[in-house]
Chain A
Amino acid sequence: MSWGVRGMTVRFGDHTALEGVSLEVPPGRVTTVVGGDGAGKTTLLRCLVGALAPDDGEVRRPEERRIGYLSSTSGTYPDLTVRENLDFAATTYGLSATETRDRAAIFLDRTGLTDAHDRLAGNLSGGMRQKLGVVRAMLHRPELLVLDEPTTGIDPVSRSDLWWLIARAAAEGAGVVLATAYLDEAERASWVLALDDGRPLAEGTPETIAAAVPGTIAVTAERPGGDASRRSWRRGSRWRTWTPTEDVAPRGARVQPDLHDAVTVAALARELEREAVGGEAA
């Protein structure tokens, strides 16, 4: 039984937050939703867990007790200790005390939170707070684990611990979906959905998305002039230029596109399309 959404559309007044978005979240796998701020990631995840009713589309999710959700804004009570936060979660989901204690102990130990047992969540660093939030969300062995930008802004060590938790949840059979703005994280997942302005930009496994880039990518030391400059972007100290069709000879060393290139190209293509349409209409 795969969880997910199909044809999801959400509008807030005359602003369309999501349009025609579909996503499958199979159990035992990690799925990511990638996009910048305002792309619609949070809206999509909120629809998935039932915190928001869509204007159109269908959702497949387990019952509330079988869902684990970590929102991007607040996963823990800052004025409760680590232990109290977990107690509250355990009691709310009707877990037995011993079962929770053992399970929580393993997670806390593995993520370096054991010493912080009696510290106020508000006094923890960002990374530790997020780890606590994820532990809280998966304490009750949910079938669907939804994490909204759990790794944004936290340090790499915490991020690595967090990914251990994610892997553990998936190993326990949960369908895990997480939102992120970082492509190197998306690369770790088995399925990626890239969103831009509420619409799907690219989807597939990281490899298939990268392989599906039409045309070529060339790397040069300087920004190319003319038409091509509109299709260039900087990465590191060099420039990458996308040439959409095969027959226009590309300049510079050609590279195999990676996920980063693929998403950038898709966003560029959409932007150019919007401009072309706007120009014609004007």
Chain B
Amino acid sequence: MTAVWAMIVKEFRQLRRDRRTLAMLIFMPILMLVVFGYAASFDVKEIPVRVLGPAADRVAAVLPAPFEVEGVDPSGGREDAVTALTDGEVPVIFLTAKGGLRVLVDGSQIFIATGTRAAVSSITERAPGGVAVEVEVLFNPDLETSAIMVPGLAAMILLFVGTIITSLGVVRERQAGTLEQLAVMPLRPADVFLGKIAPYFVVAALDMVVVIVAGIWLFDVPFRGSVLALALGAVLFLFVTLGLGVLISSVSENQGQAIQLALMMLLPQVMLSGLIFPLSSMPAGVRWIGYLLPLTYFVEIARGVMIRGASIVTLWPSYVFLAIFGAVVFGLATLRFRRSLAPAGRRRHGAERELEAVGS
């Protein structure tokens, strides 16, 4: 019996010191709580709308929840409406015209679209014999889930390959002890750095292209925007993820640790970036987390470019956010990588322990 007890005591002691596992044990439940408590919802409670056309003021005054009128433009016409939707300014536009009321909906936001349909039909039910209301879904008229999932998938691939796979690749070098040999060869730190991440850049990009092409061919996913716009977004996002991958590897001693850290960075992003659960259905308190995550912005870019045909210009905030985030993360990664190119000692604090690692 004492042997079993001895084992238990030992395991607890080891667990106490394994900070990463402890972090996961605490962090994961909290994340799940937040996600399923607040974020995981497909019901949209608030739908921002704009009202255009001659009867705009009158209609705006009587529009009930869940519609929130954020703008009124009596002089606006259909063209303005389509442009606003393409640019992603607002997901729903009520267009008043002589014949009646037309509700134009952004088909790339499926839950808002279905929510709008449901709300409109319940309104017309309650007030029959009123004005004719027609709902028109743009960009993705059949509300195919694949249309929004494929861009999301492309984003996930870049995230996964960039973060997990890259960090594993770099950590492998440290684990094997060959980093030391590299340090003594006539190589510049930049040579090693670029040589290490370039393959993952290529693989990630290739993967993404394959997925998108398959989506277009097999699932009729639209691609209305410019390839350049998507490519630019992808490159910027890759800088972020590759940088994260290298950073993760610089604080991990082995592949197990790298994966733990990478997972902790990945899961919140997947859950809270609008990839699965729409941001609009999250309460503001949780939504802001999503606005801090790089994945959110690339999903925005991917969906906007592919489904709505939005341009770089209109999506500029997302590009800028990714560029800044990328510059910071990539810059940090380069600095840390430079330093880590010295032969690896154990992660210690204090001159004494460094001395010991070095003197053995």
Which one, B6, B353, B359, B360, contacts A91 given CB within 8 A?
B6
- Given A79-B18, A123-B353, A125-B360, A88:B10 Cβ within 8 A: yes
Which one, B6, B18, B346, contacts A92 given CB within 8 A?
B6
Task: Give chain B nearest CB distance to A67 CB in angstroms.
Answer: 16
Contacts of A19 in B (CB 8 A): none
CA distance A4 to B139 in the complex (A): 82
Taking the complex as formed, is B232 at the interface, i.e. its CB lies under 8 A from any CB of chain A?
no
- Given A123-B348, A125-B356, A126-B360, A80:B2 Cβ within 8 A: no
Task: Give chain A nearest CB distance to B17 CB in angstroms.
Answer: 5
Taking the complex as formed, is A187 at the interface, i.e. its CB lies under 8 A from any CB of chain B?
no
- Given A120-B17, A125-B356, A80:B10 Cβ within 8 A: yes
Contacts of B13 in A (CB 8 A): 79-80, 84
Interface bits A83-94 vs B (CB < 8 Å: 1, else 0): 010011001101
Contacts of A182 in B (CB 8 A): none
Contacts of A167-191 to chain B: CB distance below 8 A: none
Taking the complex as formed, is B3 at the interface, i.e. its CB lies under 8 A from any CB of chain A?
yes
Contacts of B321-357 to chain A: CB distance below 8 A: 346, 348, 353, 356
| Contact between chains at A91 and B3 (CB < 8 Å) | yes
Which one, B3, B5, B17, contacts A79 given CB within 8 A?
B17
Taking the complex as formed, is A163 at the interface, i.e. its CB lies under 8 A from any CB of chain B?
no
CA distance A173 to B259 in the complex (A): 49
Taking the complex as formed, is A122 at the interface, i.e. its CB lies under 8 A from any CB of chain B?
yes
Task: Give chain B nearest CB distance to A265 CB in angstroms.
Answer: 35
Contacts of B5-64 to chain A: CB distance below 8 A: 5-6, 9-10, 13-14, 17-18
Which one, B14, B353, B360, contacts A77 given CB within 8 A?
B14
| Contact between chains at A77 and B348 (CB < 8 Å) | no
Choose among B5, B10, B14, B17 the residue with the greatest number of A CB atoms under 10 Å from its CB.
B10
How many chain A residues have a CB neighbour from B under 8 Å? 16
Contacts of A123-144 to chain B: CB distance below 8 A: 123, 125-127
Contacts of A59-105 to chain B: CB distance below 8 A: 77, 79-80, 84, 87-88, 91-92, 94
Task: Give chain B nearest CB distance to A95 CB in angstroms.
Answer: 10
Contacts of B359 in A (CB 8 A): 125
Which one, A79, A94, A122, contacts B2 given CB within 8 A?
A94
* Least CB separation from A127: chain B residue: B360
| Contact between chains at B17 and A91 (CB < 8 Å) | no
Task: Give chain B nearest CB distance to A120 CB in angstroms.
Answer: 7
Contacts of B2 in A (CB 8 A): 91-92, 94
Contacts of A87 in B (CB 8 A): 6, 9
- Given A91-B6, A92-B3, A79:B14 Cβ within 8 A: yes
CA distance A80 to B17 in the complex (A): 8
Contacts of A79 in B (CB 8 A): 13-14, 17-18
Interface bits A234-262 vs B (CB < 8 Å: 1, else 0): 00000000000000000000000000000
Contacts of B356 in A (CB 8 A): 123, 125
Contacts of A155 in B (CB 8 A): 360
Which one, A84, A94, A120, A123, contacts B10 given CB within 8 A?
A84
Choose among B5, B9, B360 the residue with the greatest number of A CB atoms under 10 Å from its CB.
B360
Contacts of B346 in A (CB 8 A): 122-123
Task: Give chain A nearest CB distance to B3 CB in angstroms.
Answer: 5
Contacts of A125 in B (CB 8 A): 356, 359-360
* Least CB separation from A90: chain B residue: B6
Contacts of B10 in A (CB 8 A): 77, 80, 84, 88
| Contact between chains at A88 and B6 (CB < 8 Å) | yes
Contacts of A127 in B (CB 8 A): 360
- Given A123-B346, A123-B348, A125-B360, A91:B5 Cβ within 8 A: yes
| Contact between chains at A88 and B17 (CB < 8 Å) | no
CA distance A84 to B6 in the complex (A): 10
| Contact between chains at B3 and A80 (CB < 8 Å) | no
Between-chain CB contacts (< 8 Å), 8 pairs:
A80-B13, A80-B14, A88-B10, A91-B2, A91-B6, A122-B346, A125-B356, A125-B359
Given contacts A88-B9, A91-B5, 6 further A-B contacts (CB under 8 A): A79-B13, A87-B9, A92-B2, A125-B359, A127-B360, A155-B360
Q: Which 5 residue pairs across A and B have the least CB separation, nearest first?
A: A91-B6, A125-B360, A79-B17, A79-B14, A88-B10
